[in-house]
A = this chain, B = another copy of it.
Amino acid sequence: MTVRTRGRAFYEITREIQARVQQAGIETGLCTVHLQHTSASLLIQENADPDVRRDFERFFARLVPDGDPLFIHTMEGDDDMPAHVRTALTAVNLSIPVADGGLCLGTWQGIYLWEHRISPHSRTLVVHVIGEGGRA
């Protein structure tokens, strides 16, 4: 599964992951999502007020500033090492139980791919579903 990002931002992928669970025909089980990159991450967060995502960007920009003179690894750009740190502080894999053929997410939980690089990237995810099939 591939997500084309338009630079640093949140991209909701809840529906795409849910569709994979349905395709797998699993009624009860476990869905694992793994992002194959080191400068973008996966985050389950509030899917209601978009200000939450804006505040996340502001907080992480202050915590791990682009162009921080602390960093030696700068050849891929000012935002590269901060992108690695932001990824380490969040996650690249998630495991969500499946029941009644759907992801057991809370009402306010959405699954996001968080692109940490400034420029657009093509990001690859591996979705794995294991468990038992439905009545069909």
Residues on A facing B (Cβ under 8 Å): 29-30, 32, 34-38, 43-46, 49, 51-52, 54-56, 58-59, 62-64, 68, 70-73, 75, 81, 84-85, 87-99, 104-109, 124, 126-128, 130-131
Contacts and interface: CB of A to CB of B under 8 A. Distances in A.
A123 to B, nearest CB: 9
A92 B44 contact: yes
B73 A49 contact: yes
Assembly stoichiometry (copies): 3
14 contacts: A29-B128, A32-B97, A34-B97, A35-B106, A38-B109, A45-B88, A49-B75, A51-B72, A55-B81, A89-B89, A97-B126, A104-B126, A106-B124, A130-B130
Please indicate which of the listed interface residues A58, A94, A104, A105 has the most CB atoms of chain B within 10 Å of its own CB: A104
Contacts of A58: 70-72
A72 B53 CA distance: 10
